[in-house]
Amino acid sequence: MLRIVFTTDDLVGTVVASGSEPLWDVVLACRRLHDRDRPAAFRRWAAETRARLRPGDRDLAVLRLLTPAPDLLTPPEQAHGLAAGLDAVRATPPRRARAELGRSRLPGPVAHGGADALGELAECLRRLHAKLVEPHAGVVAESAAADRARRARDLVDGGVHALLSGLGPHVRWRPPVLEVAHRAEREVRLAGRGLRLVPSYFCRTPVTLADPELPPVLVHPLDEGDRWSGGAAPGLDALLGPTRCAVLECSRAGASTTELARRVGTSAASASRHASVLREAGLLRTSRRRGQSLHTATALGRSLLAAAGERGR
């Protein structure tokens, strides 16, 4: 069990990341490729990814030797993009690099953590991002956007307590402690630093950094309703009609069934039926939150709306 202890200042300083972060995605995607009990949600992604990789991929082998992943692979600078994150990896202080890499199974020269070794490691991460994450960048970003919309709604409707209570089945909020399912007994005192919440498409259970002195972060899984299910299903013809298009338009930034009904000018039952058709066609995602359904347009749904808007100009 991981126990994260909050103060009042930490509640104020808790933030939701603007999206998933590239190096966390790389590290977690590598884990998902090697899962023995891979959940159904990851099977299509894993099959497509394996088909693109050469047998015995060297970069994957390197990252497997770095299990558990050292903190230097996931620096906070990655919040500003992949390039910034890789620059931070290259700039890791030598003493820290030797300490973290020395606990890995990497061969001696690399484990010593010199500038050349860190440069090679950064290039390995860049290539893995291109192989594992970039081909699915759209759905990864879309899933993170849906998660952020949900966290924002929790925060607006119920404050920080609702936000921390809604992080999934592996997390329990017992003020002032956030209890997270973890393989070891640990306690992290935030001590006024706040907590950064980062969603990841490739995360199965929440993860954090090993060093409690680093900027606190909790990387958490998406709700299953936000995860890519393999693309659009047959049924786009059923989308014809002004009411259904209006429902899709109103779901751009996320809306409950009641909100959809009010904005479109129809009954809640009718809005729910239209949302069901949109969901079956892969244009909308629905998840449950405190007894309410939250509907959010997918990347495909937003593209369809954008294309219709261009034609109407």
pLDDT, one tens digit for every residue, the chain (313 residues): 999 999 999 999 999 998 899 999 999 999 999 988 888 778 888 998 999 898 889 999 888 888 889 999 999 999 999 999 999 999 999 999 988 988 877 766 666 667 888 999 999 999 999 999 998 887 787 778 878 888 888 898 899 999 999 999 999 999 999 999 988 899 999 999 999 999 999 999 999 999 999 999 999 998 765 565 444 444 444 555 777 888 888 887 788 898 888 777 778 898 899 999 999 988 898 988 777 888 988 888 887 876 665 444 4
Contact 39, 77 (CB under 8 A): no
Whether the bond between 215 and the residue before it is cis, its omega within 30 degrees of 0, is no
The size of the chain, in residues, is: 313
The whole-number pLDDT of residue 37 equals 86
236-311 is a CATH 3.40.50.920 domain: no
The domain locations on the chain are: 2-18+138-226, 22-137, 236-311
Segment holding 219, helix H or strand E: strand 217-221
- Angle, helices 58-65 vs 115-128, to 10°: value is 120
- Percent of the chain that is helix, strand, coil (3-state, to 5): 55, 15, 35
